[in-house]
Amino acid sequence: MKIKSAMFLILAFFVLIPSVAAESSQLFIVARMNDSTFYAGDAPIITGKITDQFRTPIQGASIQVDYPFETVNATSGTDGSFKIIPTKPASVGEYGISIVTTKDGYDMAMSIMEYSVLEKPSDTQVIDVDGIQKGVQDVGTMMVNGLVQNPIAEILAQQMELAQKQQDALEQRQAEIQKENDLLGEQRKIVNDSLQVDLAQMDKDAEFYNPFNAFSRFVSDVDSSVQNIFWGQFNLTQQQHAEAHKAKMEALENQQDSQYAMKVYREKAAVSRDKIIQLNNDLNVRYSNSSDSTQSLFDSQGKLRN
């Protein structure tokens, strides 16, 4: 019977902390470890993806992962993905890992992961109980009515009994450690399930405040006869925003700096007063709140003509 050498077990879990989205240039991190358990010599590899608030993959984002024993840097690929492989194994203890990503023209995003490193039993001398038993037989010892016929056999029998006790104690300790690890695994599952519920609730809460839902609540309090006009104005601003975001991304892809890209964004997103007045005129006529003849009484500035 051979006793296996000891190993270190790493149990890992993580909490993502998304930054609050800002205007139209916010980075987001989606990351996970390659497994939930690791052994000594293995490395907690982190893979993930960098996107913006529209879930568009971001290429060329700088990623810095601060392990407790080293810092590893990487850059996101064409599809926004990244892979972090540490070069040093962890030792026994409780650790936290921070992931920070930055890119010109975007707000920084940060995530945090935590993991524990647990120690299993240390190496124990290998004792071949079967071999000792065979040695006793080879000596030709005869034990009758509890009387030892050969002093060498008595010594070997004592060694065999001691070896058996050591083996029993080791197996008992291994069973206790396995029970503790099973309990930790159950607790980790409970924590992870609770985390998933919290993350789902965060997504649900954030959805309540997105532009469409927030504007819907506002329009619901407006007279129903003019709600369509408000929605027409909202659709215009959403269209302007989408075109501005597209223009900004094209500028960045064409190697323009972030300052120029934001200038393009602001120019595309701007809506002139004349355009709003003309839109209101068209919407009033379209939804029968006015007529072409009535609207013609007003100039491009929304004032009555002389």
CATH number of the domain enclosing 3: 2.60.40.10
Residues 109 and 174 reside in one and the same domain: no
Q: What are phi and psi of 300, to 5 degrees?
A: -65, -15
Which of residues 151 and 49 earns the better pLDDT score? 49
* Residue 73 confidence (pLDDT): 94
Same domain, 68 and 82: yes
For residue range 137-183, list pLDDT tens digits in order: 544 444 444 444 556 666 677 778 888 888 888 888 888 888 888 88
Mapped onto helix, strand or coil, the DSSP state of residue 23 is coil
Please say which residue of 209, 235, 252 terminates a domain: 209
Regarding whether 56 and 9 lie in a shared domain, the answer is yes
For residue 305, being part of any structural domain is answered with: no
pLDDT at 12: 41
Domain assignment present for residue 251? The answer is: yes
Same domain (yes/no): 110, 1: yes
Model pTM greater than 0.75?
no
Say which residues have a Cβ less than 8 Å from residue 103's Cβ, sequence separation at least 6: 27, 50, 58, 60, 61, 62
In a domain, 231, yes or no: yes
Whether residue 185 is found in the same domain as residue 264: no
Is there a domain that residue 84 lies in? Answer: yes
Residues 111 and 8 in one domain: yes
117 and 3 together in one domain: yes
DSSP H helices in 209-226: 211-219
Q: What are phi and psi of 217, to 5 degrees?
A: -65, -35
DSSP string, 108-148: -EEEEEEEEEEE-PPP-----HHHHHHHHHHHT--EETTEE
- 1 and 108, same domain (yes or no): yes
Domain extent, residue 249, equals 222-271
User: pLDDT tens across 55-114, in order?
Assistant: 889 999 999 998 888 899 999 999 999 999 888 887 777 777 888 999 988 888 888 887
**231 vs 207, residue with greater confidence:** 231
- Whether 135 is in a domain gets the answer yes
CA–CA distance, 69 with 50 (Å, rounded to integer): 24
Burial status of residue 213 (CB atoms within 10 A of its CB: 0-12, 13-18, 19 or more): exposed
Q: Based on the domain organization, do 170 and 247 belong to the same domain?
A: no
Q: Clarify whether residues 116 and 131 are in a common domain.
A: no
In Å, what is the CA distance from 51 to each residue of 56, 81, 198, 258? 5, 9, 21, 17
Mark whether 7 and 119 lie in a shared domain.
yes
Query: Between 210 and 73, whose confidence is greater?
Result: 73
Domain edge (last residue) among 73, 99, 123: 123
Q: What is the pLDDT of residue 260?
A: 92
| Whether pLDDT at 125 is above 60 | no
Residue 295 lies in a domain: no
Regarding whether 147 and 112 lie in a shared domain, the answer is no
